[in-house]
Structure 1
Amino acid sequence: MRIARQMVLLLALGIATFVTTAQATLLACPFCSAPSLTFSEQLATADAAVLVQWVSAKKGNAFDDDGLALEDTTKLIPDRTTYKITQVLRNTKDKTLEKGQKIELARFRSGKKGDLFLILGTQGNELEWGSPIEVTETSFNYIAQAPSPESDQQKRLAYFLKFLEFPDEMIANDAYAEFANAPYKDIAQLADQLPREKLAGWITNDDTPATRLGLYGLLLGLCGKESDAELMQNKITEETEQFRLGMDGIIGGYLLLSGEEGLKVIEQTKFVKNPDKKVPFSETYAAMQALRFVWKYADDRFEPERLRQSMRILLERPELADLVIADLARWKDWSVLEQLMALYDSEEYNVPSVKRAIVRYLLTCSKDDRQGEDIQPPPRAADAEKALAVLRQKDPRTVKEAERFFIIN
């Protein structure tokens, strides 16, 4: 189980986002895969950008017939590819760039006459061109017309919204990346413009790229109706043994739509242990991520204590205990102090990461609401101090390790 958990967490870290235990850094879309540099961002940082047509290419002689590097560099002829500028999209420094001008790059790129490429340049002592990006007229126009990163964020997202699931994969991927990079508050303000029916269709369509499902689940949660909540519940509660990408966003969107009734469904289907129905770790972890999301962003829809109650259920899952304890400490849920002390000596929870999490929970509680050294700490803080004293006697090494990098979130 511990190995399964590690594999899922590593996969989640590699794919998602802004979607891991680094909860405090959720500056971008909470359920999107790792944001990439979009075309508009690349364009904004370039000194020059030109649309070019492929003209010709010629291989050099850097290697001999046996594939060995040419020893006599005086005879070296580099690879060459020639392009002709058809449009100057951006030019901040080199005013000599103009339509019809030829650019020769010291690299070989096969092609045929008329093939279109976007080339970005950086001005140093001279203009240095990057690798050509193959484009079509459609994708180039998409890039050229996209609002710059300095533009109003709502106008920008409204533009990219039209290109989610666009037939041209390059465009669709870039539009998704713009949402992946956008703060949740800006995405939420777009609710009245979201294509509800399309989102519902994308979520249930097996051809939708799995990496985008988290975003689409979140968007549907912002604009959906009761029927959409039912659709999402059906997808969430499907029996599966597979790792399903995007379930955190779908569950998060579902909770936005369904409120406390939906939270009960998630508790029963993803959190509560059921000997007759084993829930994959990845599903429970995705639901935990969604719970963190509503704590941070949907405090107007859920009472804090109700969310704490849900998180406390997960203390029954040893494989998640260290993460749960850290969240309860951040959420200032001091009601489980005695329970955690009991778990400390439990064989099932005898894992260094869990023990350190318990110590850090106690450290956080002991410092809660202190205004100064001369102020009497609140009752729970005093209880935490006593519990820490017990652990310092019983397990000084673990306490020392936990204190070493202790920071109150």
Structure 2
Amino acid sequence: MWWRPRAGRLMPRLDIVACLWLALVGTLSGSQSLYACPFCSAQGVTLSKEVEQATFVVHGKLINARLLNVQDGTGTTDLVIETIIKPHEYLKDKKILTLPRYVPTGGQDDVRFIVFFDVFMGRLDPFRGIPVKDKALVEYLQKAHALKDAKQPERLKLFFDYLEHPDPEINTDAYKEFGNTSLEDVVQWIRSTDRDHVRKKLTQWLRSNETPALRYGFYAFLLGLCGHKEDATVLHDLLKQRERDLVSGLDGVLTGLTLLRPEEGLQAIDHILSNEKEDFTRRYAALRAVRFLWDNPPPGVQREALLVSVTKLLRQGDIADLAIEDLRKWKRWEFAESIFGLYAQPSHNVPIIQRAILRYAISCAQQAQGKVGQLAQTFLAQRRKEDPKRVQDVEELLKFDEQLSKPAGAGL
């Protein structure tokens, strides 16, 4: 494979759930979850986007590689065109293209290349080549390019069926298409697609030991959106099988379970968060699930129940700072006294937790009313006497973070 970046280019319950989520995400214009599908770890420039950006793309056989300068490795190679993936007038009546590159194939007659081209001032610029031994990737790119003007929910119908294709180049790219898709478009796709087909595929993949561990969370989340209550059994089985290396997708599995069976999902989350002996990565994954459910509460999930679970992290010294910061963002000042009481505890006497407590106190003093606001002001006054520089530094960092979080175009 060769690649060169181009200058100046940037790389019956079902309907209720889907409609609810569609209505919900439509109100989340300020939420990060609107811009990228949650629980999908792959993002970046997709092959279909590269095809769109290229002047034309062809597939064929490389022959006659000629080395013209041994010192710098320059030369030429002929490309016999077999398939045109993205057409262009430059290709009219052409069967062979001469590439301004020396690309020896080592006598592998069964290897073909998909080559991406730019044309600048009439000169060919092949900027990427992908070796292939069959036409699976060619057909995938042709189908994707045929849908270039379609809306993303319609395009996802194609990419879904390629998520577990045996060619890693293809399935990774299809996965990346979902990773670049907004939550709103995913819900629209769920509404318009054959949900029984999607559900059967998802349960099959989630039961398979061959499925990459990184995808369990995403598949579980999709199953939560389109599955039946009985599908929760598949997710319960995943939670029990520690050997499946589930940590990277645990947040999605917990969220999917909560969508299918809210009470059981919340119990699973609470069980993890309340156990301070549980591995940190699992508790953090459960917290990520809570964050998503807090921002996008589905039917049967009350935020108060989520709060009960999150506050169990406050006394866990290795993760308390994360819980405190979430409570600050959620403006839950009723926990102020408990949080301020942690400041002097030996288990929490570390800079990262004390900074989180100070951030909470500063926001609480500014926004809370009555006794809670006064409590925060008193707490800050005591901290300023002890270490005014630390409080000042936290105040400045908090102001900076708040500026960064403002929507684009908002005043300073």
Query: What is aligned with 2:45?
Result: 37
Count of residue pairs brought into register by the alignment: 363
Instruction: Tell me if 1:303 matches 2:318.
Output: no
- Paired letter, 2:130: I
Range moving further from structure 2, 52-61 or 140-149: 52-61
Deviations 1:185-219 (A, max 9, x none): 22123335342122112112111111221211111
Query: What is aligned with 1:207?
Result: 210
Deviations 1:234-285 (A, max 9, x none): 32144569673212211111111111332023212x11126xxx42221111
Alignment partner of 2:266: what SS?
Answer: helix
After TM superposition, give the deviation of residue 132 of structure 1 in Å. 0.9
Instruction: Tell me if 1:89 matches 2:97.
Output: no
After TM superposition, give the deviation of residue 150 of structure 1 in Å. 4.5
Contact 1:55–1:112 (Cα < 8 Å) also in 2: no
| Alignment CA distance shift 1:137-1:238 (3 Å) | closer
Contact 2:213–2:249 (Cα < 8 Å) also in 1: yes
Query: What is aligned with 2:138?
Result: 140
> TM-score w.r.t. structure 1 length?
0.81
Range moving further from structure 2, 109-118 or 170-179: 109-118
Q: Name structure 1 gaps, 5 residues minimum.
A: 1-22, 63-69, 71-75, 370-376
Residue number among 51, 55, 58 corresponding to 1:50 in the alignment? 58
RMSD: 2.6
After TM superposition, give the deviation of residue 320 of structure 1 in Å. 0.9
Contact 1:88–1:98 (Cα < 8 Å) also in 2: no
Alignment partner of 2:261: what SS?
Answer: helix
Contact 1:271–1:313 (Cα < 8 Å) also in 2: yes
- CA–CA separation in structure 1 for the residues paired with 2:242 and 2:166: 31
- Correspondences of 1:17-32 after superposition (within 5 Å): 25-26=32-33, 27-32=35-40
- CA–CA separation in structure 1 for the residues paired with 2:332 and 2:247: 30
Range moving further from structure 2, 242-251 or 180-189: 242-251
| Overall identity of the aligned pairs, in % | 31
Contact 1:308–1:333 (Cα < 8 Å) also in 2: no
- Paired letter, 2:188: Q
Range moving further from structure 2, 25-34 or 217-226: 25-34
- Paired letter, 2:273: F
Contact 1:355–1:398 (Cα < 8 Å) also in 2: no
Alignment partner of 1:163: what SS?
Answer: coil
| Alignment CA distance shift 1:196-1:130 (3 Å) | same
Range moving further from structure 2, 334-343 or 108-117: 108-117
> TM-score w.r.t. structure 2 length?
0.80
Contact 1:363–1:384 (Cα < 8 Å) also in 2: yes
Contact 2:73–2:102 (Cα < 8 Å) also in 1: no
Deviations 1:35-71 (A, max 9, x none): 1321111111222222222223345653xxxxxxx4x
Query: What is aligned with 2:378?
Result: 386
Alignment partner of 2:342: what SS?
Answer: helix
- CA–CA separation in structure 2 for the residues paired with 1:85 and 1:304: 59
